[in-house]
Amino acid sequence: LEYSVCAKLDKLEYSVCAKLDKPEDSVCAKLDKPEDSVCAKLDKLENKLDSFKREVRTYVIILAALMFILQPTIFDLILSIFKSFLRQ
């Protein structure tokens, strides 16, 4: 009789645990979806930011090169300053 009662209690306990686990798993699955979506959006934004940084860096280098190419007087001025320091 005692084994029968214990077996029924164990069966009831497993049933209750199974019923409690279902909503928990469902909630976890529902929480994981937005988290994955947010992570994907963050990765996308990070990639865009890295691309933008590379693009800006390229434009700065090009602009600096154009400044020296299109205005040789500035370059000559810088050279004359260096030459004057070297003569002293």
Q: Convert the pLDDT of each residue in 49-64 to its tens digit.
A: 999 999 999 998 987 8
Query: What does the pLDDT read at residue 58?
Result: 92
**CA distances in angstroms from 28 to 31, 39, 43, 81, listed in the order given:** 5, 16, 22, 69
**CA distances in angstroms from 3 to 10, 12, 14, 20, listed in the order given:** 10, 14, 16, 25
- Distance CA(36)–CA(46), nearest Å, equals 15
**How many structural domains are present in the chain?**
1
Domain hosting 29: range is 2-87
Query: What does the pLDDT read at residue 76?
Result: 78
Confidence bin at 46 (pLDDT 50/70/90): very high
Question: Average pLDDT for residues 2-31, to the nearest whole number?
Answer: 73
Query: What does the pLDDT read at residue 80?
Result: 86
